[in-house]
Amino acid sequence: MKDTREQFSMQNNANQRSADLDYYASLGHYWDQSIGSNLDKLRAFPKYVPFGEFPKFLAKYEIFKKILTVQGAIIECGVHQGGGVMTWGILSSIFEPVNHIRKIVGFDTFEGFASVSEKDKADNEHAMKGGLAVDSYEDIKTAIKHYDTFRPLGHISKIELVKGDACVTIAEYLDKNPHLVVALLYLDFDVFEPTKEAILLLRKRMPKGAVIVFDELYIKQWPGETIAVHETLGINNLRIERFPFHPQISYAVLD
């Protein structure tokens, strides 16, 4: 088991100072030693959660509000530990509790990058086959089970995980779900090939007013996402906006 400092340095290496890694490590120790049960601590989560997670959550909240009146699914391209799919699930259950039509579909290999291409070349130690691998599939299924127990209309499935290389599974999913409409496409595969495939196959399913979100657009360490957007949608065809309180996430409302 890697210690907290090492785990954070694996995931967020680009702009981290040594002091930042110390901050993450000391939060981990604080969690271990802090008063109360785990549930008590979770209820007081702002005491423990790394600062940068709050703007990310708030950005997703702002994006979710934009699709409240748009018909269709939320597609999370890259699930990793499941924080994103569960965020969409929670927001849907809070703000549209009777919308049992809204599905959240997460695509991931659950084995890290299926491949990386020449277009992903950058100074980035994670950009390789198997990079960012985390075997989280069963763990997220358990999280979904808890979520379904408590939320309104929890007997109707809301969050679905699709395992495998998205360059194959998105097309398969469309074959099995010809009714798919996409209200929100969250691009977070980090790399070129699956991002391009997701845009090519799913853009056609997005009505006007739907939102496409870019987690790595204009990010030097992950050029593949920007190139995929450039080669498919065309960056100059989109009004790409961002939030003043979060540096990385950007989005476009389709018109």
Of the pair 32, 125, the CB lying nearest ligand SAM is at 125
- What is the contact surface with ligand SAM in residues (CB under 6 A)? 76, 78-81, 83-84, 107-109, 112-114, 132, 165-167, 188-191, 194
**Between 29 and 220, CB nearer to ligand SAM:** 220
CA angle 130–57–47, rounded 5-degree value:
100
According to DSSP, the residues that pair with 252 across neighbouring strands are 212
Least Å from the CB of residue 36 to ligand SAM: 26
| Count of CB atoms situated within 10 Å of the CB of 60 | 21
What single-letter DSSP state applies at residue 118?
A: G
Torsion on CA atoms 87, 91, 93, 97, rounded to nearest 10: -160
> Which C-beta is closer to ligand SAM: that of 127 or that of 210?
127
User: Can you point out the beta strands (E) in the chain?
Assistant: 73-77, 104-108, 159-163, 182-187, 211-214, 241-243, 246-253
Q: Which is nearer to ligand SAM, 29 or 141 (CB)?
A: 141
- Closest approach, Cβ 47 to ligand SAM, in A, equals 22
Q: How far is the CB of 52 from ligand SAM (least distance, A)?
A: 13
Min dist CB 81 to ligand SAM, Å, is 6
Question: Contact, 253 vs 149, CB < 8 A?
Answer: no
- Taking the complex as a whole, the smallest distance from the CB of residue 37 to ligand SAM amounts, in Å, to 26
CB closer to ligand SAM, 22 vs 62: 62
Residue closer to ligand SAM (CB basis): 29 or 163: 163
Task: Decide if 54 contacts 47 (C-beta within 8 A).
Answer: no
Question: Nearest approach, Cβ of 114 to ligand SAM (angstroms)?
Answer: 4
Structure-derived torsion over alpha carbons of residues 108, 114, 119, 124, reported in degrees to the nearest 10 = 90
